[in-house]
Amino acid sequence: MFAQLREDIASVLQRDPAARSKLEVLTCYPGIHALILHRLAHRLWHANWRWAARLVSQFGRWHTGIEIHPGATLGRRVFIDHGMGVVIGETAEVGDDCTIYQGVTLGGTSLYRGVKRHPTLEAGVVVGAGAKVLGGFTIGAGAKIGSNAVVIKPVPAGATAVGNPAHVVDKTANKADKPDFSAYGVTRDMDDPIAKALHALLDHVADQDRRIDCLSKCLKEAGLVNNPQTDCQKPLDRDLLDRIVD
Ligand SMILES: CC(C)(COP(=O)(O)OP(=O)(O)OC[C@H]1O[C@@H](n2cnc3c(N)ncnc32)[C@H](O)[C@@H]1OP(=O)(O)O)[C@@H](O)C(=O)NCCC(=O)NCCS
């Protein structure tokens, strides 16, 4: 138990630049207190002392602002930073070396008892402040969930998911290769069907604009049209669209 505590404290010192000493981490970090109390509650839960387990968990919530159901499984060196408002559901599993910031919910969307309703975080996942991960799916090892994201489907290992509903950001995409009207952070490879549809529509509109410009130029050069009304009066506002799709 003390070895595990030493390990927890070391992981906080490693991951929080604001942490200065072991004593400070032991006494002033609610995430550490929540882990200690959760381990006790989890043992009681599996020894079938369900009410006692819930009571310990409830005490942990009063003391730290972090609510961890005693049935939840937490790995080693899990770091809950700040912690206030964190909720971890009964069937959630949090892998080794995960980092969870304040206001995170690892929640469920189904009311069925006895089934896996809450997410699994594989090792090394980082869940940003205020993010909600809802459902019994898996967030792959080393994935990052952006602050305030609402994640409702699995995230592959190593990926970064942001937004509501969360979509995977393709950080390898080379922006220089993107067509004229691709929105930032949105690429053809992404899973999000709405982003894909918007992307296709923007490309289509950009292509049509180019063709119409070309046709107008030809007509003008041929002296067939002198009416300025044929020029595009309201060109596509790329920056605005980028911001909206982002
Ligand atoms: C998601 C996160 C992990 C990504 O970090 P990163 O790997 O360095 O990625 P980047 O900053 O390069 O961002 C990648 C893209 O996602 C966007 N993005 C990043 N975080 C976002 C968020 N929370 N919501 C929406 N979009 C976000 C960026 O604008 C960028 O888009 P672009 O490619 O179009 O420019 C990070 O932004 C984050 O939210 N961390 C949580 C931090 C936190 O909760 N801290 C609390 C401390 S108390």
Which of 164 and 196 is assigned the larger pLDDT? 164
pLDDT computed for residue 246 by the predictor: 60
Mean of pLDDT over the chain: 87
Sign (positive/negative) of CA torsion 132, 137, 138, 143?
A: negative
Q: Which atom of ligand 1 is nearest to the CA of 131?
A: 44
Q: Summarize the confidence of residues 153-164 as an average pLDDT.
A: 96
pTM over 0.85: no
The residue to mutate among 104, 139, 147, having the most atoms of ligand 1 within 8 angstroms of its beta carbon, is 147
pLDDT computed for residue 30 by the predictor: 98
Q: Summarize the confidence of residues 28-46 as an average pLDDT.
A: 97
Q: Is 2 exposed, middle or buried (0-12, 13-18, 19+ CB in 10 A)?
A: exposed
Q: Summarize the confidence of residues 204-211 as an average pLDDT.
A: 85
Q: How confident is the model at residue 223 (pLDDT cuts 50, 70, 90)?
A: confident
Write the residue with the smallest CA distance to atom 39 of ligand 1: 146
Q: Above 80 in pLDDT, residue 192?
A: no
- CB neighbours of 12 closer than 8 A, spacing ≥ 6? 19, 25, 29, 31, 32, 79
pLDDT computed for residue 213 by the predictor: 84
Cα 216 from chain centre: 47
- Tokens found for residue 57: 């968990």
The answer to whether 13 and 31 have CB atoms below 8 angstroms apart is no
CA 41–ligand 1 middle distance (angstroms): 34
| Secondary structure string (H, E, C) spanning 91-118 | CCEECCCCEECCCCEEECCCCCCCCCCC
pLDDT computed for residue 198 by the predictor: 83
pLDDT by residue (tens digit) across 5-16?
Answer: 999 999 999 999
pLDDT computed for residue 178 by the predictor: 46
pLDDT by residue (tens digit) across 110-150?
Answer: 888 879 999 999 999 999 999 999 999 999 999 999 999 99
Q: Does domain 2-191 have CATH number 2.160.10.10?
A: yes
238-245 and 193-221 helices, crossing angle to 10°: 170
CA 146–ligand 1 middle distance (angstroms): 5
pLDDT by residue (tens digit) across 171-183?
Answer: 665 444 444 433 3
CA 40–ligand 1 middle distance (angstroms): 35
Helices (H), ranges, the chain: 2-15, 22-28, 30-46, 50-64, 193-221, 238-245
Q: What angle do CA 47, 133, 94 make, to 5 degrees?
A: 40
Q: Which atom of ligand 1 is nearest to the CA of 161?
A: 1
pLDDT computed for residue 176 by the predictor: 46
CA 166–ligand 1 middle distance (angstroms): 12
Which of 121 and 170 is assigned the larger pLDDT? 121
Q: Which atom of ligand 1 is nearest to the CA of 130?
A: 44
Domain boundaries, the chain: 2-191, 194-245
Write the residue with the smallest CA distance to atom 36 of ligand 1: 146
Q: Give the span between the Cα atoms of 44 and 27, in whole angstroms.
A: 24
50-64 and 30-46 helices, crossing angle to 10°: 170
The residue to mutate among 125, 145, 162, 186, having the most atoms of ligand 1 within 8 angstroms of its beta carbon, is 162
- CB neighbours of 143 closer than 8 A, spacing ≥ 6? 122, 125, 126, 155, 156, 157, 158, 159, 160, 161
CA 147–ligand 1 middle distance (angstroms): 7
pLDDT by residue (tens digit) across 54-110?
Answer: 999 999 999 999 999 999 999 999 999 999 999 999 999 999 999 999 999 999 998
CA 171–ligand 1 middle distance (angstroms): 11
